[in-house]
Structure 1
Amino acid sequence: MTIGSHLEEFHDLPVHRFPKSVEDRQGAAGLPAPESVAWNITVDAYAGEEGWKEAFARFLASVDTEKVRALVVGAWNEVYDNGPEEVVEALVAAQDRLPSLRALFLGDIVMEECEISWINQGDVGPLLEAFPELEEFGVRGGQGLVFPPLRHERLRSLTVETGGMPAEAVRGVAGSELPALVELDLWLGTSEYGGDSEVADLAPILAGTRLPALKYLGLRNSEMQDDICAALAAAPVVARLDVLDLSMGVLTDDGATALLTGQPLAHLKTLDLHHNYLSAEIRDRLRDSLEAEGVKVDVDPDDAESDEEEDGTVWRFVAVGE
């Protein structure tokens, strides 16, 4: 599976694409109220007549940015070769123009523009430092991604979508102090695309001490899903969760059995395991043991994957890789 469509909603707002320079622009009078939408600012990824900084400058000149609540950064120029350094620089420079900004997504880029594991990213720390009132932050792409350990008082939702999340970035998230964070969603990916983290790198997240408000934990799209489940079987953070999302990865009966034989999960509202390599027997055991306790268990057999074998080697794949 690849990412084939842009965000349509962000921060509970409909996404509205700010007109590109090559399109028919209606002027400020034809634009929606600045606080009513999440503004997507994007340029043609290749051979475009305008750079992202120029498009952003037009946005600043056309919209009452003091009222803007959410921004979505789409493609920048030559995304296969360039990272978002100029984008980050422009956003940081405009921080005083965006006092109401509460949500920011960096890299709403789909496969026609650049596959997820080929998106060049960079250091997102300056964005979180420049916008201390942010409540929601998301980033797509793991190549070159830097997420330094930091403290952010207001952030409630953090999403990192990758086909392979660098271990140093995983450790940066895990080492951050995020006292208001309610939702954490990490797509850890595979070693083939730079996902070189180990379960040990997740230890501070699993302990939960730096995330006292956490209710949704997604550790997904991972080739080490079974090992993650084994660690979660006794992880302190699980007891306070409403939703545990272990979907999109290489989950087998071993991982599911670890969950079933570990600490109680009856307090969860949802256990999401869609896209899995589970047997029918284990799927039934999960449903029988947890749905009777009121837990919604997503193990739809239509989402079950089949092993692929070649020359005696069994191949299993995460949902979003390249």
Structure 2
Amino acid sequence: MTFPENTKTFAGRPVVELESGEPLPPVQGPVAWRFGFWEEDFGTDYGPCQAYNEALDELLDGIDTEAVHALVLGSWGYAAFADAPIVKLCDVAHRLPNLEALFLGDIEAEECEISWIRQGDLTPLLEAYPKLRVLRVRGADGLALRPTRHANLRELAFESGGLPADVVRGVLGSDFPALEHLEFWLGVANYGGDVTVRDLEPLLNNNPFPALRRLGLCNSEIAERIAAALAGAPVVGRLTELDLSMGVLDDAGAEALLTGQPLTHLRRLSLRHNFLSPEFAARIAAELPGVDVDVEEQQEETQWGRYTAISE
């Protein structure tokens, strides 16, 4: 699985492209504005892309920034060599006073592989945008998050081919009283994904987020162990949606999940893009008749083993 094109919707809104120096185009209803700037600069010393920062300034000078409620940022130069514009976003926070939703890294595979995308410490970003309700981040090279508090954040998602355990610990050590949706693409060890079930235990057993209803533990090479832990995890009883898609779950792992605590209270269970047999996939759907069970795109193990949907 790759990202062949940019996202078309974000935070429940259609995405509309912005051009530097141009006014906001006329639209009907709420939209998410998108801005990207790709520059093939292979001589950089790994830092902010100055040309991108200048282009973003030019863009903000030409639009009504108070009308921007949702923002999708694509490439910031060449994202494998240029740091994510977190510092720049903090510097211009006063110009985006109504920003509620941010996607940092809507980057196609042709522009930069997901595990090459350079991120940074997200903590100042959350501090700079107190109205933020949705934050989605793609890429995990250099990604960090220190324990923090944010009163309004409702959706937090990390798309990665390998998520550092320190990021998970930072999230689970934070105070997000409004958080309803949490999504981790855990990835693989070869690309920095060193999260263990023990790292997830504060979430599974104690759940520091009282409003949490939708949980994704996706794209994981330890999906079997996660499924076994979820079978008895108290957090499951409070969820309406559970997403274990894009991993390496087989019939044995799904059996552990299915024979654990009841799952009939869920509205949706996604096991999409795993390694279930057709017979077991049909059994899960039959045993959870009131649940929207997604078992599409099941994979077949090769002679080299099973692989997550996203790695490099």
Give the TM-score, by structure 1 length: 0.90
User: Residue 31 of structure 1 corresponds to which residue in structure 2?
Assistant: 25
Residue of 92, 101, 120 corresponding to 1:94: 92
Residue of 114, 123, 126 corresponding to 1:125: 123
Contact 1:174 1:203 in 2 (8 A): no
Contact 1:247 1:275 in 2 (8 A): yes
Q: Tell me the alpha carbon deviations over residues 104-147 of structure 1, each in whole angstroms, 9 at most, x when there is no partner.
A: 11111111100101111111111111111100001000111112
SS in 2 for 1:74: strand
Residue of 285, 288, 300 corresponding to 1:306: 300
Structure 1 position 318, deviation (Å): 0.6
Q: Aligned in 2, Cα 1:208/1:39: closer, same or farther, shift over 3 Å?
A: farther
Structure 1 position 266, deviation (Å): 0.6
User: Residue 144 of structure 2 corresponds to which residue in structure 1?
Assistant: 146
Within-5 A mapping of 1:153-302:
153-291=151-289, 294-300=290-296
Contact 1:120 1:145 in 2 (8 A): yes
Q: Tell me the alpha carbon deviations over residues 154-175 of structure 1, each in whole angstroms, 9 at most, x when there is no partner.
A: 0111110000001111111122
Residue of 298, 308, 312 corresponding to 1:318: 308
Of 217-226 and 251-260, more deviation after overlay is shown by 251-260
Structure 1 position 50, deviation (Å): 7.4
SS in 1 for 2:81: coil
Structure 1 position 58, deviation (Å): 1.1
User: Residue 72 of structure 1 corresponds to which residue in structure 2?
Assistant: 72
Contact 1:136 1:156 in 2 (8 A): yes
Of 173-182 and 35-44, more deviation after overlay is shown by 35-44
Q: Tell me the alpha carbon deviations over residues 199-234 of structure 1, each in whole angstroms, 9 at most, x when there is no partner.
A: 111112213531111111000000011111111111
Contact 2:78 2:111 in 1 (8 A): no
CA distance in 2, matches of 1:112, 1:209: 38
Give the TM-score, by structure 2 length: 0.93
Q: Tell me the alpha carbon deviations over residues 244-298 of structure 1, each in whole angstroms, 9 at most, x when there is no partner.
A: 000000001121011111111010011100111112332232122112xx11211
Structure 1 position 35, deviation (Å): 8.0
SS in 1 for 2:137: strand
Q: Aligned in 2, Cα 1:132/1:207: closer, same or farther, shift over 3 Å?
A: farther
Of 58-67 and 152-161, more deviation after overlay is shown by 58-67
SS in 1 for 2:229: helix
Structure 1 position 4, deviation (Å): 1.3
SS in 1 for 2:76: coil
Are 2:38 and 1:44 equivalent residues in the alignment?
A: yes
Consecutive unaligned residues of structure 2, counting only runs of 5 or more, are 43-48
CA distance in 2, matches of 1:274, 1:58: 42
Are 2:2 and 1:6 equivalent residues in the alignment?
A: no
Of 265-274 and 142-151, more deviation after overlay is shown by 142-151
Contact 1:277 1:304 in 2 (8 A): yes
Are 2:63 and 1:63 equivalent residues in the alignment?
A: yes
Of 280-289 and 160-169, more deviation after overlay is shown by 280-289
Aligned residues: 306
Contact 1:35 1:69 in 2 (8 A): no
Amino acid at match of 1:83: D
SS in 2 for 1:263: coil
Contact 2:117 2:141 in 1 (8 A): yes
Q: Aligned in 2, Cα 1:50/1:32: closer, same or farther, shift over 3 Å?
A: farther
Amino acid at match of 2:298: A
CA distance in 1, matches of 2:267, 2:211: 16
Amino acid at match of 1:73: L
CA distance in 1, matches of 2:25, 2:278: 52
SS in 1 for 2:75: coil
